[in-house]
Structure 1
Amino acid sequence: MKNKIVLAIFGAFSLVACGPGPGSSPQENGSERAAHALETTPQYDSAGVISAVDGSILTLDHDGASGANLPPGRNDFVAFADVLSEAPLEPGSRVAFKFRRNDEGLELTELKAR
């Protein structure tokens, strides 16, 4: 009986000691991949007029961006607080902006008065 307990404790310590190994932390690798994806995702420039603001969603009537295959028209863009904090947010404001495409749609990376 004592042998089984000793073997069980030894086995538990062996498994704990194995671990994932150096440099293979899933948290680090995931955040590094996300940062790299943002750095390599192209940004596009355009200009337009704010049509509506609903929380972090801006609806813009814009000139389009041929590089992004985005024809002129009206689209919703997600904008985070750092972009919104320095921008005019009233409907009718003329703006210049930079954006990128991501899995969720269009994301503003810069927005300023024109």
Structure 2
Amino acid sequence: MPYKFKSRATADLIMLDANGRKLLEIIGKSPDEVHGIITVEQIPAAIVALEAAAAEDAARRAQPQDEAQEDAVPANQDGVALGQRIVPFVDMLRRSAADGKEVTW
């Protein structure tokens, strides 16, 4: 099920299930709920959590691979980094906070 994030401050943001679930888990929301809300008061903490998770992901990707994993796909080449995935969502959160509007899904 894709996630459709809405705010009165921005256009809608649609994410595929796996990506939406991961972002909701990072900010401490239950991805199993059909509908939810990120209040204006919760937005700053959500942004901090997302940016910390992205920094952790970037650090993990920058670490050299073990010799046992040489044949595996390197972590820094396994697709889109979390730091890239959070950009539109963090932008939505920032704009929503600036306008005093909550984000729902």
TM bracket (short chain): under 0.3
Higher strand share: 1
TM-score, reference length from structure 2: 0.25
Structure with the bigger RCO (C-alpha within 8 Å, sep 6+) is 2
- State which structure, 1 or 2, has the greater radius of gyration over its C-alpha atoms: 1
Higher helix share: 2
TM-score, reference length from structure 1: 0.24
